[in-house]
Structure 1
C-alpha cells in the first residue's frame, strides 16, 4: 500500500515526516481507504486537472487526502474522460507521473465513455508524444515495451494494430525508440521504419536498430511495401 494511505499515530496524534522519534513510543500504523470523490465536500478537488497541468504540489496534496489515483475526470481540451496518469503522461509531466506511480496508479487503465475507450494507454500516449523521461518511468513500472498502437489505413480508414516501436522511429523520436529497445522491444517490428530510414538516408535510425540486432534488408527488397 502506498504511503499516501498510511498514517503513523503516537498516543492518538498523527506524526509528520519530520516528527522526532524519541525513546520508547507507542506507535500505531493506520491504513486509510480512499475518499469518495463524488462527495460534495471534494467538489473542487480535481486530480486530473492537477496532473494535466503538472502541478506536483497539488497532486501530492490530493493524493494525501487520500484520493484514488485512478479517479476519472475531464481534461481541458475535450469532453471525454481520462485518468490522472494519462493526463500527466500525455503532457510529459514526469514529476506528477512519479507521484501517481508511487500511489499505485494502474498503468494500463483507460477511461471509458459509454463503454468505449477514450484514448490509448498512458504508456502509448507518452511514446507517441515523445516524452522519453515519462516513457522510462512507465517502463520501470513494468509497462510492456512491445505494446501496440491503433493505426488507420490511408484509403479506407480501417483500424489495425502496430507495435509501438515502428511509428515512434518513423516519427524520429530516437530517445523514446532507444528506451523501448533497451526494454527489449523487438527491433524486427520496426521493419517499415528501417525501410523508410534507408530510403531517406536517416542513418541514426538505421544504426540504432542495428545496435539492437536488426538486419538491414537487401537493396532489392528495400522498395517493397511492407505494412
Structure 2
C-alpha cells in the first residue's frame, strides 16, 4: 500500500500500489478523490526528499503530501507562460505551472522583447494563457491549463472568452475540451455575439480553407451544449 500523510502527520489515505502508476497519477487521484489542490500545488515527499512527477510508484511506501501556495509571478514568468501557451511549448508551460505560477495571468502592457510589434501586443492584451492556447489550437496545453485550474469562462475587456477564440478558428477538439470543462455558450462579446453566433457566421469561410477543421462540427457541439444547459444537465 501507499500510505499518504499530511504535513501535520495526520493520515490522509492509503492506496493500493497497482492503482497508480507514478507520482503524477497519485497527485491527480488525490485531487479528484480527496479534494486536494491540482497536482501543481502538491509536493510528495519520501524520507524528506521531493519526488518528481515521473517517479514510479511500484512498491509499498510511506509518503507525505505538502501543499504549496500559488507564486506571484514575475513579469518574466508571466510573459514566458503566455508565449509558451501561444506557441505550443508544452514542457515550458508544465515547468512554469509547477512553480506553481497561477494559470490565469494575463498581459496588460506591451513588452517589445515578447511581442514582435505593437499591433500584435494590442491584439493579445488581456488574453490569458488559456485563451491564447485555445486560439492557436494547442489542445494538450489547454488540457494542462484546465488541470491547473484556469478559469474557463474568463473574458477579456471585449467580452471574448477562450471558447469564442477556439470557435472562430474552427478548433473542434479545443471547443470540446472547453465545453467539457464547463465553458458557457451564452456570454456575449462587445459585438453582441455568442460563441454559436461566431460559429455560424464564419462556417462558410472556415469550410473553404483546406487546412481548416469542419465548422459544422463546432456548431453541433455548441448547439448540443446549449440544449443540455437549457435542460439543466
Q: In which range does the TM-score fall when normalised by the shorter chain?
A: 0.5 to 0.7
Q: Distance in 1 between matches of 2:38 and 2:144?
A: 10
Native 8 Å contact 1:124 1:147 kept in 2: no
Structure with larger Rg:
1
**CA separation of 1:98/1:86 partners in 2, compared to 1, >3 Å: closer, same or farther?**
same
Native 8 Å contact 2:153 2:184 kept in 1: no
Paired residues in the alignment total 169
- Report the equivalent of 1:213: none
Q: Distance in 1 between matches of 2:132 and 2:146?
A: 13
**CA separation of 1:170/1:119 partners in 2, compared to 1, >3 Å: closer, same or farther?**
closer
**CA separation of 1:45/1:148 partners in 2, compared to 1, >3 Å: closer, same or farther?**
closer
Native 8 Å contact 1:82 1:118 kept in 2: no
Native 8 Å contact 1:70 1:84 kept in 2: yes
Q: CA RMSD in A?
A: 2.4
Is 1:171 the counterpart of 2:202? The answer is yes
Q: Distance in 1 between matches of 2:189 and 2:219?
A: 14
**Given the alignment, which residue of 153, 159, 166 partners 1:126?**
166
Instruction: Return the TM-score normalized by structure 1.
Output: 0.66
Q: Distance in 2 between matches of 1:171 and 1:73?
A: 27
Deviation at 1:2, TM superposition (A): 0.7
**Given the alignment, which residue of 86, 91, 97 partners 2:136?**
91
Q: Distance in 2 between matches of 1:128 and 1:102?
A: 24
Kindly report structure 1 stretches of 4+ aligned residues shifted beyond 4 Å: 42-45
Deviation at 1:43, TM superposition (A): 5.2
Deviation at 1:118, TM superposition (A): 5.2
Structure 2: segments with no counterpart, 5+ residues: 1-36, 109-113, 204-214, 229-233
- Report the equivalent of 1:100: 145
Native 8 Å contact 1:165 1:185 kept in 2: no
Q: Distance in 1 between matches of 2:96 and 2:49?
A: 21
Deviation at 1:119, TM superposition (A): 5.7
**CA separation of 1:145/1:119 partners in 2, compared to 1, >3 Å: closer, same or farther?**
closer
**CA separation of 1:82/1:141 partners in 2, compared to 1, >3 Å: closer, same or farther?**
same
- Report the equivalent of 1:65: 99
SS in 2 for 1:7: strand
Deviates more, 1:48-57 or 1:26-35: 26-35
- Report the equivalent of 2:178: 138
Give the structure with the larger helix fraction.
2
Residues 21-40 of structure 1: pairs in structure 2 closer than 5 A? 21-23=58-60, 25-38=61-74
Instruction: Return the TM-score normalized by structure 2.
Output: 0.65
Deviation at 1:163, TM superposition (A): 3.4
